[in-house]
Amino acid sequence: MISRFHMVVSISIFLTLLASGCGQEAPPVQAPKPTAVRQKVKTPPGKTVETPAAEEAAKEDGKGFVYNPDGKRDPFQSLMEMEKSVRKPSTPETPLQKYALNQLRIIAVVWGKGEPRAMVVAPDGKSHILKRGVKVGQNDGVVTEITREEILIREKIYDFGGTSRIVNQKIPLPITKKELI
């Protein structure tokens, strides 16, 4: 049987553990503060709407700043997709609109009576005759002038922000070996 000494020791250990487990109460758990619910609201361009919930949240945080995304680019939208959406997908009206301007090569310029004309060779090996007003290049370029040394082309180019600008490009007459000497 268990001796009286062992029983007294085990009861005293039990009471010591029980007393050490009882102590201060845990602090009460505070409920989290309610946060403002964000809602997508479409506003007409140029008009800003400030939501009271966003203003209150900014005041509680102590920062005093409210972000307003109106009129700003979506940072998660690819810039390449923006460029594609700005350009109108158009089918080429002439065979020369399939190629970039730097792929075309002048082989002759006809200068004399009437309007000047130039003959260019495309990468596929076919030759084409150009005159003022012919569409050429992938950026809706139009031949504006043909001189003895070059062809001047006006193109509409789009940048990544979606804005377009008019650029004057040149296709120069190639230099021959006789001109180098």
Say how far apart CA 170 and CA 105 lie, in whole Å: 11
Q: Give the model's pLDDT for residue 86.
A: 47
Q: Give the model's pLDDT for residue 56.
A: 62
The predicted-structure confidence for 57-110, as pLDDT tens digits, reads as follows 555 655 667 777 788 877 787 766 654 444 555 666 788 888 888 899 999 888
Say how far apart CA 15 and CA 149 lie, in whole Å: 108
Residue 63 in tokens: 């920062």
Say how far apart CA 131 and CA 119 lie, in whole Å: 9
- Domain region containing 63: 39-72
Answer yes or no: do 66 and 122 share one domain: no
pLDDT average, residue stretch 5-17? 84
pLDDT average, residue stretch 23-36? 65
Assigned domain for 152 exists: yes
Q: How many residues does the chain have?
A: 181
Residue 129 in tokens: 């005759």
The predicted-structure confidence for 112-155, as pLDDT tens digits, reads as follows 888 999 999 999 999 999 999 999 988 889 999 999 889 999 99
Structural domains of the chain, count: 2
Assigned domain for 13 exists: no
Q: Give the model's pLDDT for residue 85.
A: 43
